[in-house]
Amino acid sequence: MEWRDRWHITIRWDRADNSPAGVVSVERVVDHPDELRYLIGRARADPHVVAFPYRRVRELVGEEPDACLEGHRYAGGSATRPVRDWWPCSCGGHLVLRCRLCPDIRVDPVVSTECDAAKPRPDS
């Protein structure tokens, strides 16, 4: 898993008749700053657009691990389902999965040198 930046932009027109979509407001989500720049440029060029607020959102994307590093599968009942925890961090945070069958601890995304999250303790 990894953190990715996305941008949410809401474009508002003065009247639905003046909107290409036939509505007063449209919300879009884009994955790249160039896409956001394009939408802002189009909104500025349209005299009927009255507002186009946008915000950056960091989203955790990717598949959650399905087994610990020792190969124990996380599927099944309560005996194999991992203990889940969440560590807040300046990068966005980390999902912590602790295997119930061995001392393995998985942290996704991996804690890097820029992170300020506490490292896991096997005994906790």
Model confidence over 69-123: pLDDT tens digits? 899 888 877 778 888 888 888 888 888 999 988 999 988 888 888 888 765 555 5
Residue with tokens 């124990």: 72
Q: Is the pTM of this model over 0.75?
A: no
Cα separation, 119 vs 111, in Å, equals 8
Q: Domain limits of the chain?
A: 2-59, 63-124
Backbone angles phi, psi at 47, to 5 degrees: -65, -15
pLDDT in tens, 10-35: 999 999 999 988 999 999 999 999 99
Backbone angles phi, psi at 33, to 5 degrees: -55, -30
User: Both tokens of residue 79?
Assistant: 């005996």
Asked if residues 7 and 30 have their Cβ atoms less than 8 Å apart, the reply is: yes
